[in-house]
Amino acid sequence: MFAVHLLAFHFAKLKEDQIKKVDRYLYHMRLSDDVLLDVMGRFRAEMVKGLGRDTNPTATVKMLPSLVRSLPDGSEKGDFLAVDLGGSQFRALEVKVFNDGKQSSQLESKFYPTPKEVIQGSGAELFSYVADCLSDFMESRNLKHKKLPLGFTFSFPCKQNKLEEGVLLSWTKHFKARGVQGTDVASSLRKALQKHKDIDVDVLAMVNDTVGTMMTCGYDDPRCEVGLIIGTGTNACYMEDMRHIDLVEGDEGRMCINTEWGAFGDDGALDDLRTEFDRELDLGSLNPGKQLFEKMISSLYLGELVRLILLKMTKEGLLFNGKVSAALLTKGKIEMKHVSAMEKYKEGLSNTKEILTELNLFPSEDDCIAVQHVCTIVSFRSANLCAAALAAILTRLRENKKLLRLRTTVGIDGGLYKTHPQGSAKGAAMVTAVAYRLAAQRKQIDAVLAPFLLSLETLRDVKNKMRTELEYGLKRETQDRATVKMLPTYVCGTPDGTENGKYLALDLGGTNFRVLLVKIRSGRRRSVRMYNKIFAIPLEIMQGTGEELFDHIVQCIADFLEYMGIKGARLPLGFTFSFPCRQASIGKGTLVGWTKGFKATDCEGEDVVDMLREAIRRRNEFDLDIVAVVNDTVGTMMTCGYEDPNCEIGLIAGTGSNVCYMEDMKNIEIVEGNEGKMCINTEWGGFGDNGCIDNIRTKYDKEVDEGSLNAGKQRYEKMTSGMYLGEIVRQILIDLTKQGLLFRGQISESLRKRGIFETKFLSQIESFSRILQETVKELAPRCDVTFMLSEDGSGKGAALITAVAKRLHNIGQK
């Protein structure tokens, strides 16, 4: 027994010695955690460089946009062809995708050889070979009579501007066909296919193998957002936020980026890690100086790396008694398959021994132990480097999503890591299927949205109808019938700079309810200073009783006076009340009807100034001098008018939509007098309440109207203002989902909730104001309009109106 133990110990010791020897020899290939973290950091910086517009031209990691923006959603269907060129095996496939709710697909494929003469000959020959193989495949599958879309997996760096085209940037790996670099590969394939008169194939999508892999896995696991290849070459793609991709227009959503990480280090960034063996291998490759990261990782190179190491060790007398064989001296004699066989520890040393013997080396047990360990170190380094770059991608994804922890799926393929037998070509078919589905969906979505696109002719018609309504509203006999009420405001001029004093203002009816203190100075020290506070109005108060509403308002005023420390002062007050009021003077306003989100009882038909006064009386704590009630459009016009005396229109595009403007007195039949002008609050939100614009209302507008507080009323406002736009969008989304065009046909709980899409600050949406201004120019070409954003809200205007009214009142009294 003792002898046996001793023997075992002796062998273990021997083995350990061999391993130590190799470890010492390949010290430089064993990367510590610190080094790997450092590699990860370097790769993260490379990604940023590749994504930036200015830095991309000099970046080695090209970060190529793939134009793939969505993963399969399971609703794809159809019959697709694919070819897969660039990995260790070339093949043609047929993929049938079923939209049966079970995510099922069927795949048939056939492999074809890729002789060196073909992949390193002329480009034309290469593509005609590919076309021949495809034609043969279709023949064998009896597909020649069918017109089929094809997805092309082409595993080389390509610059894509469209999904169906791709310009080869450079050959990598073992390919080097002439005259292809810098040309569109998809179109070359198309040309080659055209020579086959008996088949009809439409090259619809071109994808990198990484992208194909991500799509293949994404079909089964919607969380998949990274595609990784560790095979003949190595590379990865992932879904990047559009806002970070400088090279592609647009900021919304994500796009798959083919990193082409194989080129990492081509600028020397990894020189400190590369060994003499890496350098030697590179010098003997088809593309010296290129794909340096790939050459440390992928299967095309690992065998050769092992050979170079063994050769040097032998020459130094560390292996095989120092005897080199002709085979060991021959480039390419050790391949990846040998490395992985030798590495199989479970099979002991038998594989190693056999392979080394085949190379005419006469290995001792010690040699076998050492060689096996060399293989392990080389593949260990490969896996570690790959992991470092992958970790950089995953960290980026996590940070893009602002998550503390990321749960994601990485689709992997390639000879070195074989888990997904369907390969990346199924993914090319999936990309094609997705493109197909998206095109069909696009069509249907366009049809749904078509009624929203108004032609200039339609808009002119709307303009004319609006003009008619404006005139009806001004005329005594027709104003009853008019939907646009054209309410006189008794505001007859814009501020002239002589206003001064301290005023309170209320601003009720927009997104925010505010109370303001406005201090106006005239003369040389002309200025307006404002202090304001926003108060909430709870829904139950907006839609409770009138008394409750006005008590709440007075409560807020009391808080404000307290807060400003001016409770004792009896200040004049201007009341911006953003609802239609019929006025008999500046200080009186009868509410015609609530609009927007308000519906307090017992207010319609009442004078809101009186209601406010009564509420103040009820509280019996302070007194105020309510001088003016003004619509927000009028307040806005006055605010801007203080800066620009030419201002004669006030427009609100906010929660609601409305306009006021200065009209000649002689045209306002319902007010006495012919001299000068008066501001008219058009209340154009009610335009169309008689059905005159029903032709441009979509079914979504009608749905939104039916679900609103004031069904049938304010139809124009419901097509134009913030309070309703979000609802229209929601109705459209619901409809598109019902039609199966969105969200896999599933209407989520939140989508069912009214009001989930708020549209605050409509006028600040850039495209809104731009389109507004451009369209106005088009429809009113002879009006030269300056659009001035009222930064201070309408409260300032209300105070200015109050100042003027107060002055006139005082003059009157005198």
Return residues touching ligand BG6 (CB under 6 A): 507, 509-511, 576, 578, 632, 635, 652, 654-656, 722, 793-795
Out of 51, 652, 662, 725, point to the residue binding ligand GLC (CB under 6 A): 652
Binding residue count for ligand GLC, defined by CB under 6 A? 38
DSSP state of 296: G
Residues 315-354 that bind ligand GLC (CB under 6 A): none
Give least dist CB 591 to ligand GLC, A.
10
**In whole angstroms, what is the distance from residue 501 CA to residue 520 CA?**
5
Compute the half-sphere exposure of residue 271: CA atoms within 13 Å on the CB side of its CA: 5
Contact between 685 and ligand GLC per CB under 6 A: yes
Q: Which residue has the tokens 């020459």?
A: 315
Among 514, 697, 715, 730, which one carries the catalytic annotation? 514
Q: What is the 3-state secondary structure (H, E, C) of 638-700?
A: HHHHHHCCCCCEEEEECCCEEEEEEEEHHHCCCCCCCCCEEEEECCHHHCCCCCCCHHHCCHH
Give least dist CB 631 to ligand BG6, A.
9
Among 73, 607, 632, 705, which one carries the catalytic annotation? 632
Out of 157, 218, 303, 495, point to the residue binding ligand GLC (CB under 6 A): 157
Give least dist CB 803 to ligand BG6, A.
17
Binding segment for ligand GLC among 140-148, 228-236, 730-738, 806-814 (CB under 6 A)? 228-236
- Quick one: which H or E segment has residue 152? strand 147-154
**Closer to ligand GLC at the Cβ: 149 or 415?**
415
> Tell me, what amino acid is at 699?
K
Tokens of 707: 């679900």
Phi, psi at 240, each rounded to 5° = -105, 150
Give least dist CB 537 to ligand BG6, A.
12
Q: Which has the closest alpha carbon to 242: 70, 451, 428?
A: 70
* Contacted by 424, from ligand GLC, ligand BG6, none: CB < 5 to 8 Å by type: none
Residues 574-613 that bind ligand GLC (CB under 6 A): 578-580, 595-596
Out of 509, 574, 795, 797, point to the residue binding ligand GLC (CB under 6 A): 509
For ligand BG6, which residue has the nearest CB?
Answer: 654
Beta strands in 493-644 (DSSP E): 501-508, 513-521, 527-535, 572-577, 581-585, 588-591, 625-630
**Closer to ligand BG6 at the Cβ: 170 or 633?**
633
Binding segment for ligand GLC among 150-158, 398-406, 529-537, 607-615 (CB under 6 A)? 150-158
Compute the half-sphere exposure of residue 76: CA atoms within 13 Å on the CB side of its CA: 30
Phi, psi at 85, each rounded to 5° = -125, 130
* Contacted by 427, from ligand GLC, ligand BG6, none: CB < 5 to 8 Å by type: none
Tokens of 500: 């001064």
**Closer to ligand GLC at the Cβ: 105 or 578?**
578
Among 578, 708, 790, 794, which one carries the catalytic annotation? 578
Is-catalytic flag, 578? yes
**Closer to ligand GLC at the Cβ: 351 or 759?**
759
Rg from Cα positions in the chain: 38
Q: C-alpha 33: how far from its chain's center?
A: 35
Contact between 155 and ligand GLC per CB under 6 A: yes
DSSP reduced 3-state for 112? strand
* Per-residue mark of binding to ligand GLC, 231-270 (x: CB under 6 A): xxxxx------------------------x-x--------
Compute the half-sphere exposure of residue 493: CA atoms within 13 Å on the CB side of its CA: 11
**Closer to ligand BG6 at the Cβ: 206 or 799?**
799
* Contacted by 658, from ligand GLC, ligand BG6, none: CB < 5 to 8 Å by type: ligand GLC
Give least dist CB 682 to ligand BG6, A.
15
| 473 C-beta neighbours (distance < 10 Å), count | 25
Phi, psi at 792, each rounded to 5° = -95, 5
DSSP string, 444-486: HHHHHHGGG---HHHHHHHHHHHHHHHHHHHSTTTTTT-SS--
Contact between 156 and ligand GLC per CB under 6 A: yes
Contact between 210 and ligand GLC per CB under 6 A: yes
**Closer to ligand BG6 at the Cβ: 234 or 794?**
794
> Tell me, what amino acid is at 508?
L
* Contacted by 511, from ligand BG6, ligand GLC, none: CB < 5 to 8 Å by type: ligand BG6
**In whole angstroms, what is the distance from residue 289 CA to residue 503 CA?**
77
| 476 C-beta neighbours (distance < 10 Å), count | 9
Tokens of 341: 């066989």
**Closer to ligand BG6 at the Cβ: 181 or 763?**
763
Compute the half-sphere exposure of residue 812: CA atoms within 13 Å on the CB side of its CA: 6
Residue 532: beta bridge partners? 516
**Closer to ligand BG6 at the Cβ: 427 or 641?**
641
* Contacted by 580, from ligand BG6, ligand GLC, none: CB < 5 to 8 Å by type: ligand GLC
Give least dist CB 444 to ligand GLC, A.
34
**Closer to ligand BG6 at the Cβ: 237 or 723?**
723
**Closer to ligand BG6 at the Cβ: 210 or 802?**
802
Contact between 229 and ligand GLC per CB under 6 A: yes
Contact between 87 and ligand GLC per CB under 6 A: yes
| Alpha carbon distances (Å) from 625 to 504, 615, 616, 805 | 9, 13, 11, 12
Residue 527: beta bridge partners? 521
Those residues whose C-beta lies under 8 Å from the C-beta of residue 109, and which sit 6 or more positions away, are 91, 92, 93, 94, 425
Is-catalytic flag, 91? no
Binding segment for ligand GLC among 46-54, 159-167, 202-210, 530-538 (CB under 6 A)? 202-210
Contact between 658 and ligand GLC per CB under 6 A: yes
Binding segment for ligand GLC among 324-332, 381-389, 561-569, 654-662 (CB under 6 A)? 654-662
Q: Which residues are catalytic?
A: 514, 578, 632
Which residues form the interface with ligand GLC (CB under 6 A)?
86-87, 155-157, 172-173, 208-210, 229, 231-235, 260, 262, 294, 509-510, 578-580, 595-596, 631-633, 652, 654-658, 683, 685, 717
